[in-house]
Chains A and B, each alone.
Chain A
């Protein structure tokens, strides 16, 4: 009798291990990384990162599709999406309801997280576009670069991003047309306590800026409010090819605090920001941002010491997404290309620099439960 029971337990353990392994492999084959399955309790918890998609809704829907081949009818999963190797929270696979992570979830993750082993070498292709209207001699002044870059995880939440910029067209400024190093940054992302997110970067950014960039945000994905700040100590740099790089002093300070509210109307968000922008002008900005799912479109108005302006922005993934992937490497187009149009030309009104990765507020907006659940309907 006892022997039978031992055999049964052994069989159960082996089959559950096999199930976990098979599901893990199936997810990894479709592009999911750092897939960690915790099936010790009634509810299976699965940690994962999918860098190809910008919205966790699409990642979880994809994961649900794959997992449906392995699960019984009434079995549910708690998906734990990761951003920059850090778990954000738990979402149930059926209703996408949200739960914060327990200390045992985090301990389990920390024990099993393998930043090198569990990730592919992920190579990303993205465009960089800057444009300005209005000069009589040349009405459309544009910069168009192709960027090939990669982000490598070094430890939990700690990553390095670098790559090369290949200038394709430039009628806007005097930046060299030689290939050069793309914005290269060392980033630490963390969730200090549930809902308290911080992202600290040091490196070179777009818009000729380099230095320290700090972003903090408080807001649980289940709440409609979030508050945060962006601050930085930066200077300018100029690159001519790979060898000739000039840095100015890192002496400019910016600090912008904001509050964002997810309106209960068709995935609209209102964001109000005040502070000192990167050209050290005090003022404020109001954004209205619509989330369509894969695409965000926003309108804004800015009023600072340097004047008033307005415009629009959009964020889209670049087609086709995955180009190819093997067990060790993935080549893909960027999950997010963001572009902002400002009505005025050269006046430096309420400007920000582009980091080369999505800003914290734009990342966390995708995790809001209301938004995710609305896409499910």
Chain B
């Protein structure tokens, strides 16, 4: 049943965006469960120009749903749908919906998350890319909020490509109180550990990714809550990324990503110029 459900979702997404994918330019991609450049659950500072739009679906097993977010909540499988847009060469925005079908009648559509990535430093020969991730305040239950600073460095070698990432996630989160008429006054800083015992991205985190082949890679990461490892494949001129991984070697999770450029021409014009 689960497999059928996932297969349907995958087919739907693939068919729906097929025409856009066909227009897109070549891209490189490894994205985390939120659809952002990252390994499995951690965000990295990887930045890829020329593919401004990304769609992503991720499956998180119920056993680990409270280790990444919604701590304290009922354990239930999570379907994460997200869309990512690079608004400029230094700013990206990401929107995700965290749907838990098993408990939808209790929590509705689930949590929604809008956050930003800002590139503070471009990668050079010796220096890494540095990215600041920020979740705007406004949620009364910011269980998925994360604010972080991360550095990522790519290293080419004769046996393949390596990517190293090291980051720091803020242990504090801004929570909105109940008073809508005093939005700013209703905000307060709370320690993530005290807000539902959330340990995800609270402190120093990091990971390594290794690509021995141009279409195949493996990575290992520590997200301040769990240690995870997995493999990923890049298909169809790297427009599609498939990733399967394990939380602490106990449960399997996976994610699928589509990415493409927003810089394309209307179909009639493209056809005329091809003539």
Contacts and interface: CB of A to CB of B under 8 A. Distances in A.
A273 to B, nearest CB: 18
Interface in B219-275: 262-269, 272-273
Nearest to B264: A294
Given A133-B109, A292-B262, A308 B180 contact: yes
Contacts of B105: 136-137
Interface of A: 30-31, 52-53, 58, 61-62, 65-66, 133-137, 139-140, 265-266, 268, 288, 290, 292-295, 297, 299, 303, 307-308, 310, 312, 317, 319-322, 341, 343
A137 B136 CA distance: 29
A14 to B, nearest CB: 29
Interface string B89-115: 100010101010000111111101010
A262 to B, nearest CB: 14
B212 interface: no
A288 B93 CA distance: 12
Contacts of B264: 293-294
Contacts of B272: 30, 62, 65-66
Interface of B: 19, 52, 85, 87-89, 93, 95, 97, 99, 104-110, 112, 114, 136, 138, 180-181, 183, 262-269, 272-273
Contacts of A65: 269, 272-273
A30 B268 contact: yes
A343 B109 contact: no
Contact of B93 (A133, A299, A307): A299
B88 A290 contact: yes
Nearest to B95: A312
Contacts of A319: 19, 267
A351 B269 CA distance: 36
23 contacts: A31-B268, A53-B269, A58-B266, A62-B268, A62-B272, A133-B108, A135-B108, A136-B106, A139-B104, A266-B87, A268-B88, A290-B85, A290-B87, A293-B265, A295-B262, A299-B87, A299-B93, A308-B183, A319-B19, A320-B267, A321-B267, A322-B268, A343-B112
Contacts of B107: 136
B109 A134 contact: yes
A317 B267 CA distance: 10
State the majority secondary structure of interface residues on B: mixed
A321 B19 CA distance: 13
B267 A322 contact: yes
Given A136-B104, A293-B263, A52 B87 contact: no
Contacts of B181: 307
A298 to B, nearest CB: 9
B129 to A, nearest CB: 18
9 closest residue pairs by CB, A with B: A139-B109, A133-B109, A292-B262, A266-B88, A290-B87, A308-B183, A134-B108, A307-B180, A136-B108
Given A320-B267, A343-B112, A310 B138 contact: yes
Given A65-B273, A312-B95, A53 B87 contact: no
Given A65-B272, A303-B183, A308-B180, A140 B138 contact: no
A307 B176 CA distance: 13
A307 B186 CA distance: 13
Nearest to B138: A310
B49 to A, nearest CB: 11
B136 A310 contact: yes
A293 B262 CA distance: 8
Interface centre among B138, B264, B266, B269, by most chain A C-beta atoms within 10 angstroms, is B266
Contacts of B110: 139
Contacts of A134: 108-109
B100 to A, nearest CB: 10
Nearest to A322: B268
Contacts of B138: 308, 310, 343
A266 B89 contact: yes
A35 to B, nearest CB: 16
Nearest to A62: B269
Contacts of A310: 114, 136, 138
A299 to B, nearest CB: 6
Contact of A53 (B114, B263, B266): B266
B93 A312 contact: yes
Contacts of A297: 85, 87, 262
A71 B230 CA distance: 59
Contacts of B99: 139
Contacts of A66: 272
A58 B264 CA distance: 10
B114 A312 contact: yes
Contacts of A290: 85, 87-88
A365 B87 CA distance: 17
A321 B262 contact: no
A312 B88 CA distance: 16
A139 B100 CA distance: 10
B271 to A, nearest CB: 9
A292 B52 contact: yes
